[in-house]
Chain A
Amino acid sequence: MSDGARTLPAAAQPPLVRRSHLLPGLAALGCALVLPHFANAYVTEVATTALLYVVLCLGLNIVVGYAGLLDLGYAAFFAVGAYTTGILTSEFGFNFWLTIPVAMAAACLAGVIIGAPTLRLRSDYLAIVTLGFGEIVRIIARNLDITGGASGLVGIERPEILGFKLMQVQHFYYAFLALALLAVFVCLSVERSRMGRAWFYVRYDEDAAAGIGINRVSAKLQAYMMGAVIASVAGCLYAAKMTAISPESFTFNQSLLILLGVVLGGMGRIPGVVLGAILVALLPEVLRGAGTYRPLVTAVALLAIMLFRPNGLWPDKRG
């Protein structure tokens, strides 16, 4: 009935980006590309934070939006990436780019340790276990010598590309923009893959999914690990940008903010998640004067969205 059905041959794969999304998407990308040339350092800094949240929210969206699993300790994987880069560059003199595969492997390992036992059980258990895991990672980071204890790590090496050292705000803005684009691309491809469809079925009806031959546990584990890997890569770049990291950047509150970004715009949809991530990054700037009321505002926003607009601010028109 729709235009899509008439113009596409029935057997063809749908395009990576829907045609109606192509133009707005390119326009947004164009704006993002030229932004640092018009904005001052403050705006560029906030925009860089927004891009960091875009990456993190897209990663968590794979777990929450695609596979329907509630992860309350997502910041832990972000921490795994940041600390891997921090320790390897400052203590062992690694090149920044070599720390990324190590961080990805570490995040995978942590994902299996947490995910494998709990994903067999009810989804509620995963929520609480990930909450506990998030706390464990923070406690470990606070109490080990190699992670610098409560004061964290300082003097993390800045990355070089072909002899060009990333130093200024603008450089990291473009680095995070590249990472965000990569994350969007990964999400778009994974959505349409066999694995993406398996997540979709598992989310809608686990038993029916199992009935058509999908291995529920491994499908969930794949989603959980893919989310973990994306967060860890974001952590690597974050550590390089900040050059100093401390356990307080990876608290439960951080996990909540990332989750809010996913829920706010619309779970499971890339444009919605990007919008949510940007809003979450702007939140502290808007609420600068709110002080101790800030968590309450975040909480009320989350609850109100769930009760009154469960599909988010920018839901899918196809329903």
Chain B
Amino acid sequence: MTLDLVIQQLVNGLIVGSFYALIALGYSMVFGVIKLLNFAHGDIYMSGAFVGLIAFSFVGVWVGNGWAGVVCALLVSMLAVGLLGVVIERFAYRPMRNAPRLSILITALGASMVLNGTALALTGGRHFAFNTDLGFAGLDVSAVHITYTQIVLVAASILLMAGMQAFVSRTMYGKAMRAVSIDMGASRLMGIDVDRVIALTFFMGSALAAGGGVMAGAYYGSVHFFMGFIMGLKAFTAAVIGGIGSVPGAMLGGLLLGLLEAYGSSLPFVGSEWRDVFVFGALILFLVFKPTGLLGRSVVERV
């Protein structure tokens, strides 16, 4: 592997990794609070990309297809899809909160399929172009050209994640979230409005996923109804690598997974068609040898 390739894959890995990290963070937050793997998370990411594209095509007329348009689309999508997350929680997950574990999981799967099926029915399965006008200006490191867009995307996702970490660790609502994740019943007795905290968690997790969706859509220039499926799987893998339930763990796991994928698929004897096998191989190895992940706490409790 030449130095150029190493740098190129570092850039690729960091970008993909920061998308993974954003999605994994939402996964982890929801899991932390209600101990549920939100299967719909990947599809929320996909919905975010579509809502972003719709918003972009409207605001683009006024503010242009450059950064202003993308940022507007990002904000609109995060807000709308955050609310979508709240709605899903209210109508699909809340009625099941005391149901057997298996029923909750199947319900979550059903919610995921409804989002995916709706997107398929509305789009007819077509790919939609996300034509942005972000330019190719950038820095040259050795022979590798790194665009400003790439730098901004990585910086923006790090900023979003840092904001989330600050919210969870500094604010009153963040404290309530942590309390609910430790003991829901006791939190209720202490006067915390548990339903509201859970709704807020879904809002924030879904908004992050939507942010990731818009950024990925704008970066790759294309949006598709099936994009959430594999992303959901990979974000889960990232969350497990970092330690599920841990905010810094999700970021670390996402970036590591992105790098693993980038370097793994550029090895001479494995092509990019084996990239996903690499990821799931990593997931299974982690579950065997370090199920708590790199930064997670013990997961001995069983439900």
Contact = CB atoms under 8 A, between A and B. Distances in A.
Interface in B39-88: 39
Contacts of B288: 117
Nearest to A68: B102
A249 interface: no
B261 to A, nearest CB: 14
B227 to A, nearest CB: 14
Nearest to A295: B117
Q: Which of B99, B107, B109 has the most CB of A within 10 A?
A: B109
A312 to B, nearest CB: 11
B280 to A, nearest CB: 4
A123 B113 contact: no
B200 interface: no
Interface in A62-77: 64, 68-70, 72
Interface string B267-303: 0000001101101100110011001000000010011
B37 A136 contact: no
Q: Is the interface of A mostly helix, strand, loop or mixed?
A: helix
B113 A129 contact: no
Interface in A261-319: 263, 267, 292-293, 295-300, 302-303, 306-307, 310
A117 B284 contact: yes
Contacts, number: 126
A125 B287 contact: yes
A202 B95 CA distance: 24
B106 A307 contact: no
Interface string B203-240: 00000000000000000000000000110010011001
Given A117-B287, A128-B37, A306-B96, A133 B121 contact: no
Interface residues of A, number: 47
A92 to B, nearest CB: 25
A160 interface: no
B104 to A, nearest CB: 9
A140 B105 CA distance: 27
B116 A123 contact: no
A248 interface: no
Interface of A: 64, 68-70, 72, 114, 117-118, 120-125, 127-129, 131-133, 135-136, 139-140, 142-143, 203, 206-207, 252, 256, 259, 263, 267, 292-293, 295-300, 302-303, 306-307, 310
